[in-house]
Amino acid sequence: MASTPLTSTAEEKRAALRARLSSVAARDETAERYRRHANPYIARMLDGLGIDVHYVRGQGTRLYDGAGNEYLDFAGAYGALPFGHNPPEMWKAISAVRDSGEPSITLPSVLGASALLAERLAAVAPGHLDQVWQCNSGAEAVEAALKLARAATGRRLVVSTRNSFHGKTLGALSATGRPRYQTPFGAPSAGFHHIPFGDPEALRQIFGEHPEDIAAFIVEPVQGEGGIVPAPPGYLATARELCTRYGAKLIVDEVQTGLGRTGRLFACEHHDVVPDIMPLAKALGGGMVPIGAVVFGQDSLTEDFGLRHTSTFGGNAFCSRVGVGAVELLTADDRALVRQVARRGDHLLAGLREMASRHPELVADVRGQGLLLGVQLSDDPDLHARQGLFRSLADQEGLAGFLCGYLLRNEGIRLAPAYFANSVLRVEPPLNVSEADCDTLLGALDRGLDVIERGDSARFFAHLLPASERPASERPASERPAPAAFPEEDASAAPRPTRLRPREGEPRWAFIAHPTDLASYESYDGRLGLPGEQVRVLFDRMNQCRNVDTAAAMLVGRCRVETDTGESSYGEIFALPYGAQRLLDMPSAQSTALVQEAVDDAVARGAQLVGLGAYTSVITANATALRDVPVPVTTGNAYTVAAAVDGLEEAARQQDIELDEACCVVLGGAGAIGLASSLLLSEKVGRLVLVGNPAHRARSERRLAAALESVVGHLREADDAPHAGALARSVRTRASSGASARAIAADLVEQGLLTASVDAEAVLPAGDLVLAATSTPDQLIQPELVRRGAAVCDVSQPPNVGPRLKAARPDLRVVAGGLVQLPGGRDLGVDFGVPSGVTYACTAETMVLAHRLHDPVVSHGDKLSVDLVRMLRDEARKLGYRLYLPTDTDHQRQGGPHA
């Protein structure tokens, strides 16, 4: 990538720097203006991918930004840039219009420039196509083609193909074969039917079913937005034969492929097929003006179309003269430029395939015709081992888009992904691109794939970070020398895992969560080499790139769990790319919709059970807000309770705390996890303090009062075990008098055996045992508040215990509760931010319940059954899950992205 030339004097250097900073400020101002007044959604997407460059000059195949940086344009405006930027021949045509004084818009009248363009197009069009109707865009050309066909045949049914793209006006969008782009706009309209592309049998079937109803079959000779997919040999010929036999019109959509793009003037010429109707646009404007046209035979023209389908701006002299110039340039010297396209396309295709052979797993396919080529990247996340971002983007077919940003910012190469096939890089340069430019692209793309293949996420995503937060080795593109060869892979790189796929009949589950704190952001992709705050900045920027085809949650891993009983299950783990506070700050409908979409996507991928983790259960009211999910959904809360209680009891044992007289403080005591934990702990402890949220005092006090009665009711029904604590013994003594649960609770409160509070600071010092089970992201447990020698168990996500507590209070035993060891200590191959062979209890609950699909039992809603908690504990032990108490070092890692 060329940059502002280095100067020899300090003053010149300062001047260059000032110019660059001025350019950046101008770019930011322009970007803000575009975001505010033009299209905020596109602006966010451009920013998220790192392709938000404001170009101030273009010449040939080059573009330049305000700082003088040079970019080689291989995106080519989706085919609308046949001769590069600002071609002199087109400016000559424009100047001629100015100099002649020819009026541009003169309807109603005889349009001389329009007539000349029509004559020139008719002269080069295939077969009998000698009629031309002009408009302003490709979508309008398709609209006109559809109306021509319906008027000529008297029929209404239009057949098109899936994954096709024909434009965004309502009729063209109805023909477009992508439901997610149609539905928001009430498309398709009546009278459209979609069949698989390239399948002659499907074509024969639809004509056989509707022999007298089909007005037209519309098809692209190369599906562009569908992934650069050429029609297979014989397909268009079959379409031609069927349309002729059944009296339908064959519309070959050449908006993108026409006028030289594929190495012939029209792509249908590769198939020796003459359509009835042929929409054109893009290249017809010479890269300078918007213009479209429909070329057709007289047998498709009717009085209705001729008199009732007109256009105010269609056929204007200004655009028509440019169109004439474009046709002349394409046909000059016996179509020399078009023949050069064929040669250049062969060279580029061969080079891309050779490059693909060096990256056989990363590049799935290279295909296309002429200078309309596609490089399809693999969407297999297993290719990227533990590289969190690469793995997730591959699964979401988002890697190609971010590779475009990397190439733009690091190599000065401009590419774009296909619209409907986001894993496909569209290679579509101007038709007059040089062989040297093609070789430049090949070298840059090869280096970019090297970066991905080696898992160097720090280098790949550095341009998305603010300059002050980039790794020291990453300078802005304008200050970076030409790319050097990538260093040899270091020996510490993680080995590529075995590709996992579900076995036939194997239970399938999914688990959905999100980053919970900065530590979990940091653990998501260790090779970024960035602190959690900077990773969060990166995530926030990347989140701007979501589109209608992007899943709500990122796939972060696949795993197979094998139990001690010889059973196995297959799971997929997903993470919403939003932290805890971001989810809490969202409107509840928005955050719930994100989880709903993630659950629906997981089910669509084959999950028979879905588990929620961290705030995904909180924001969905413990899964009760989810609708129409055809499989069981579990919150993970029940087994979290079991692990939390076991963890706190083990910590108490290590601190030599006698449970039966100990005071236990439960933060979040009225919540689902806190209350169920309190019920179990109440059987063994001497005193119990339940703490609620002071932010909603009145509501918390009501819930805490109900929780106290629940504790009493539970103890009245519990077995009279010999290890019962003072609290349980007191309840049973009072229960014999026949007093109500409310009266007993009030008596116990007065005696100080049972307490409810919304003031954690006031009651924490009394706790021999402290269990944190809140849904707040705050670190509530400060060193000065905890009793000497206490046992603390934290199951909150994000943690309520911060690093200060353990550093300042070595007398305490602090455990990250809710951690369990997997059967046999097997590694899942997924970085949860916990030691190998360990996972969170909420995740383990999903794994355990996968073996009960025949009799599904899940934790759901605000109230957890103690019987469910005990059942899950027993089931987990039978399968080989064991309580895990982390060491101090392990605890520092606690809080992984899926906690």
HEC profile of 317-368: HHHHHHHHHHHHHHHHHHHHHHHHHHHHHHHHHHHHHHHHHHCCCCEEEEEE
Structure confidence at residue 177 (pLDDT)? 93
pLDDT of residue 395: 77
**Cα–Cα distance for residue pair 74/251, rounded to 1 Å:** 29
Which helix (DSSP H) or strand (DSSP E) does residue 680 occupy?
helix 672-682
> Residue 720 corresponds to which amino acid?
D
Do 356 and 375 meet the contact criterion of CB atoms below 8 Å apart?
yes
User: Highest-confidence range of 289-298, 388-397, 715-724, by mean pLDDT?
Assistant: 289-298
Q: What is the mean pLDDT of residues 553-575?
A: 89
Least-confidence region, from 301-310, 385-394, 782-791: 385-394
Contact (Cβ atoms closer than 8 angstroms) between residue 132 and residue 117: yes
pLDDT of 10 strictly over 60: no
Closest CA to 538 of 679, 405, 685, 697: 405
Q: What is the mean pLDDT of residues 585-605?
A: 92
pLDDT digits (tens, 9 = 90+) for 689-698: 999 988 888 8
Residue 3: how many other CB atoms lie within 10 Å: 18
Torsion of CA 664, 667, 669, 673, to 10 degrees: -100
Stated as kind and residue range, the H or E segment containing 495 is none
Query: What amino acid occupies position 506?
Result: E
3-state secondary structure 786-832: CCCCCEEEECCCCCCECHHHHHHCCCCEEECCCEEECHHHCCCCCCC
> pLDDT grade, residue 409 (50/70/90)?
very high
pLDDT at 198 over 60: yes
Q: Encoding tokens for residue 2?
A: 């060329």
Euclidean distance between CA atoms 93 and 623, whole angstroms: 65
Cα distance between residue 218 and residue 278, in whole Å: 9
Q: Please say whether the beta carbons of 317 and 114 come within 8 A.
A: yes
Give residue for tokens 């019109």.
249
pLDDT band of 385, cuts 50, 70, 90: low
Handedness of CA 689, 691, 697, 699 (dihedral sign): negative
Per-residue model confidence (pLDDT) at position 488: 42
710's tokens: 């629940």
Cα 474 from Cα 477, distance rounded (Å): 9
User: For residue 473, what pLDDT is reported?
Assistant: 46
CB count within 10 Å of CB 358 equals 12
Q: Are 322 and 306 in contact (CB under 8 A)?
A: no
Whether the Cβ atoms of residue 74 and residue 429 lie closer than 8 Å to each other: yes
Q: Are strands 192-195 and 214-219 parallel, antiparallel or unpaired?
A: unpaired
C-alpha closest to that of 259 among 370, 160, 166: 370
Residues 6+ apart with CB under 8 A from 78: 224, 256, 282, 416, 426, 428
Residue 431 sits at the vertex; the CA angle it makes with 427 and 433, to the nearest 5 degrees, is 75
The single-letter code of the amino acid at 399 is L
pLDDT value, residue 708: 94
Ranges of H-type helices in 183-265: 200-209, 235-246
pLDDT above 90 covers a percentage of the chain that reads 63
Is beta strand 413-414 parallel, antiparallel or unpaired with respect to 70-73? parallel
Rounded Cα–Cα distance for residues 139 and 473 (Å):
46
pLDDT band at 424 (very low <50, low <70, confident <90, very high): very high
Sort strands 663-667 and 882-883 into parallel, antiparallel or unpaired: unpaired
DSSP structural state of residue 481: P
pLDDT band at 255 (very low <50, low <70, confident <90, very high): very high
Residues 324 and 111 sit within 8 Å (Cβ to Cβ)? no
Average pLDDT rounded to a whole number, residues 470-488: 43
For tokens 């709903």, what's the residue? 596
The per-residue pLDDT for range 491-543, each reduced to its tens digit, is 344 445 456 788 999 999 999 988 877 777 777 777 787 877 888 788 777 77
* Start-to-end C-alpha separation, the chain: 42
The whole-angstrom separation of Cα 865 and Cα 278 is 67
Rounded Cα distance between 696 and 437, Å, is 64
CA distance 840 to 655: 24
C-beta of residue 775 within 8 angstroms of C-beta of residue 669: no
> Which residues lie below 8 Å from residue 261, measured CB to CB, with a gap of 6+?
79, 82, 267, 283, 341, 370, 371, 372, 428, 431
In angstroms, the CA 143 to CA 548 distance is 24
4: confidence class by pLDDT, cuts 50, 70, 90: very low
CB neighbours (10 Å) of residue 454?
Answer: 18
Q: What is the pLDDT of residues 24-40, one digit of tens each?
A: 455 578 888 888 888 88
User: For 110, phi and psi rounded to 5 degrees?
Assistant: -75, 125
Position 137 pLDDT exceeds 90? yes
Q: What average pLDDT does the chain have?
A: 87
pLDDT of residue 828: 72
- Supply the pLDDT for residue 27: 54
- pLDDT band, very low/low/confident/very high, at 816 (cuts 50, 70, 90): confident
More confident residue, 189 or 781: 189
Q: In the numeric block, which tokens belong to residue 644?
A: 């939390």
Among candidate residues 370, 301, 293, 300, the one with its CA nearest the CA of residue 324: 293
Top pLDDT among 391 and 255 is at 255
Give the per-residue pLDDT at 151.
97
183/520: higher pLDDT = 183
Question: Closest Cα partner for 135 from 314, 390, 275?
Answer: 314
Tokens linked to 224 = 């562009």
Residue 796 identity (one-letter amino acid): S
Give the number of other Cβ atoms within 10 Å of residue 14's Cβ: 11
Q: How far apart are CA 820 and CA 97, in angstroms?
A: 78
Query: Looking at residue 889, what is its pLDDT?
Result: 39
Band the pLDDT of 468: cuts 50, 70, 90: low
Cα-only R_g, the chain: 33
Structure-block tokens of residue 589: 């409908």
Distance CA 609, CA 360 (A): 35
What number of other Cβ atoms are within 10 A of residue 38's Cβ?
Answer: 9
| pLDDT average, residue stretch 63-77 | 94
User: What is the average per-residue pLDDT within 833-849?
Assistant: 88
pLDDT band of 721, cuts 50, 70, 90: low
- pLDDT of 863: 82
For 261, phi and psi rounded to 5 degrees?
Answer: -60, -35
Residue 613 and residue 636 in contact, taking contact as beta carbons nearer than 8 Å = yes
> Which among 50-64, 337-351, 538-552, 833-847 has the top mean pLDDT?
337-351
